[in-house]
Amino acid sequence: MYDKIKQEIISAMKEKDTLKLQTLRGIKGDADLEHINKGLEINDDLLINVLSRGIKTRKESIEEFKKGGRDDLIEKTNKEIELLQSYLPKQLTHDELTKIIDEVFTKVAPKSEKEMGLIMKEVTPLVKGKADMKEVSTLIKEKLSNL
C-alpha cells in the first residue's frame, strides 16, 4: 500500500493534480513520522491507522467549516475524504457491522454498560479500517443500553 501511495504521488505530480498530491503527501508524511517517532514498521496496518485518522480529522474539520459557512472548504475536504477512503479496505455495510457486533456480544455476554471497553476490545480488531469507529461505538452503546 505504501509503494502504491508513492507511485500515486508521482503520477499526481505528472498530472498536476494538486489536491491528490497534497493529500497523499500528507498521508505519506504522517506514515513516515509514525515510523521515525514510534519506530513502527511501515506496513498496511500503519497506513490504515494513518488513513483512518486523516479521514476522522477531515470529518471534524467539515463540522467546523459548516459552522463558518465555508462551502468551498467543505467540498475540497469531501474530495480528500473520498480519495483517502479509496485506499482503505472495502468498508463494512451497516448490516455486516451489526452482525459482527452481535457475534461479539454473544461471545462476551456483557451484563451492563460498564463492559463497553471489553466489547470495544473484541470488536476493534475485526473492524479496524473497515468501519467508522464512531459508528461502531454508537451501535455498541445502543445495544448495551438495551440490556
In this structure, are 59 and 100 located in the same domain? no
In this structure, are 24 and 59 located in the same domain? yes
Q: Do 143 and 113 meet the contact criterion of CB atoms below 8 Å apart?
A: no
In this structure, are 9 and 57 located in the same domain? yes
In this structure, are 10 and 47 located in the same domain? yes
Q: Quote the number of domains for the chain.
A: 2
In this structure, are 20 and 73 located in the same domain? yes
Average pLDDT, the chain: 90
- What is the helix (H) or strand (E) element at residue 137, kind and residue range? helix 133-145
In this structure, are 53 and 119 located in the same domain? no
pTM: 0.75
What's the Rg (C-alpha) of the chain?
Answer: 18
Least confidently predicted of 9-13, 36-40, 121-125, 128-132: 128-132
In this structure, are 123 and 80 located in the same domain? no
- Domain assignment of residue 128, given as a range: 94-145
In this structure, are 54 and 113 located in the same domain? no
In this structure, are 11 and 76 located in the same domain? yes
In this structure, are 137 and 76 located in the same domain? no
CATH classification at residue 60: 1.10.1510.10
Query: Per residue in 67-120, pLDDT tens?
Result: 998 999 999 999 999 999 899 888 888 899 999 999 998 888 888 888 888 899
Q: How far apart are CA 9 and CA 18, in angstroms?
A: 10
